[in-house]
């Protein structure tokens, strides 16, 4: 399973909206909010329970956003890979015999 990181710069006003948008896009493993080089908030996302886990984190993030002027969102995602397909078995076609 490979991972990739994305980075977004946002203003404090747009922080909560952008994080919600990122979570809705899916395949998010971890979200890190930084101001300069200092990590302000970091929370992991577990597949399947994003809604339940995200609610308290988003509430705290809303309070933090009021204090931040400019920050960076770092998002760790699971890289999407093409699903492996099983090789198909050749099918034989029977021809009807014409008399």
Domain boundaries, the chain: 3-78
**Could you report the per-residue pLDDT of 59-83, keeping only the tens digit for each?**
777 777 777 788 899 999 887 665 5
Q: How many CA atoms lie within 13 A of 37 on its CB side?
A: 0
pLDDT above 70 covers a percentage of the chain that reads 70
Q: What is the CATH number of domain 3-78?
A: 3.30.1490
pTM: 0.66
Which contiguous run of DSSP H or E holds residue 17?
helix 15-25
């Amino acid at each position: 399973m490979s991972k990739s990181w994305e980075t977004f710069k946002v203003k404090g006003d747009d922080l909560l909206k952008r994080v919600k948008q990122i979570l809705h896009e899916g395949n998010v493993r971890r979200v890190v909010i930084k101001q300069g080089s200092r990590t302000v908030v970091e929370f992991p996302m577990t597949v399947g329970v994003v809604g339940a886990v995200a609610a308290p984190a988003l509430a705290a993030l809303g309070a933090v956003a009021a204090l931040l002027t400019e920050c960076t969102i770092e998002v760790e995602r699971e890289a999407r890979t093409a699903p492996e397909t099983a090789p198909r078995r050749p099918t034989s076609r029977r021809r009807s015999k014409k008399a």
